[in-house]
Amino acid sequence: MSEKIYVRKVETWTISSASEPIEVNVEGLRKCEPPYEGESHDELIDYLTENVWGNYEWYDNETNIEVYGEDEAFALSMEEAYVENEFFDSRTKGEDVNIQVGVPNEEWTRYGGFETFASSEY
């Protein structure tokens, strides 16, 4: 153990926000490159995640622009989908709390400048 050791309390909250909903033209996706071939919601989310979301090549593809529409294809990629509608904030219900043992360390920026050696359960 180092010469000096510190303890701190950590409170964690969850805030969830979402963009405005964008209608999905499933039949249009079936004519795009690559074509959507699924039948379930899970298959649709897999297709969107693997092929469309944030994929410049998908929304810039000539076939996809022609079939799906240029503005619609870009919107579906969510490149500029603004996440501004907060729908859940756990601070109104309480927080998850734990304590941590460690030392201040400016290089540990992800953890608020604290190098954690051990923490309690939530």
**Can you give the pLDDT at residue 3?**
86
Phi and psi at residue 53, in whole multiples of 5°?
Answer: -55, 115
List the alpha helices (DSSP H) in the chain: 26-29, 41-47, 56-59, 62-68, 70-76
Per-residue pLDDT of the chain (122 residues; tens, 9 = 90+): 658 999 999 988 888 999 988 999 999 999 999 999 999 999 999 999 999 999 999 999 999 999 999 999 999 998 888 888 889 998 888 888 899 999 999 999 988 999 999 999 75
**What's the pLDDT at 121?**
72
AA letter at 9: K
The pLDDT tens digits for 97-112 are 899 999 999 999 988 9
Sign of the torsion angle spanned by Cα atoms 39, 43, 45, 51:
negative
Is the Cα dihedral 115, 117, 120, 122 positive or negative? positive
CA distance 30 to 68: 10
pTM beyond 0.85: no
